Chains A and B, each alone.
Chain A
Amino acid sequence: QLQLQESGPGLVKPSETLSLTCAVSGVSISGPTSYCDWIRQTPGKGLEWIGTIYPDGTTSYTPSLQRRVTISVDSSNSRYTLRLTSVTAADTAVYYCARHSLSALSGVDFWGRGTLVTVSS
Chain B
Amino acid sequence: QSVLTQPPSASATPGQRVTISCSGSHSNYVYWYQQFPGAAPKLLIYANSQRPSGVPDRFSGSRSGTSASLAISGLRSEDEAYYHCAGWDDTLNAPVFGGGTKLTVL
Contact = CB atoms under 8 A, between A and B. Distances in A.
Contacts of A39: 95
Nearest to B47: A105
Interface stretch (A11-19, A22-30, A71-79, A108-116): A108-116
B47 A104 contact: yes
B12 interface: no
- Chain A: interface secondary structure? strand
A58 to B, nearest CB: 11
Contacts of A49: 92, 94-97
Interface residues of A, number: 24
B29 A108 contact: no
A108 B86 contact: yes
Contact of A46 (B29, B43, B50, B100): B100
Interface residues of B, number: 25
B23 to A, nearest CB: 15
A60 B52 contact: no
Interface of A: 37, 39, 45-49, 52, 60, 62-63, 96, 100, 104-114
Interface of B: 1-2, 29, 31, 39-43, 46-47, 50, 52, 84, 86, 88, 92-100
Would you list the 7 A-B pairs with minimal beta carbon distance, nearest first? A47-B97, A111-B40, A105-B47, A46-B99, A49-B94, A107-B31, A109-B43
18 contacts: A45-B2, A47-B41, A49-B92, A49-B95, A52-B94, A62-B94, A104-B46, A105-B46, A106-B52, A107-B43, A107-B88, A108-B43, A108-B95, A109-B43, A109-B52, A110-B43, A112-B40, A113-B40
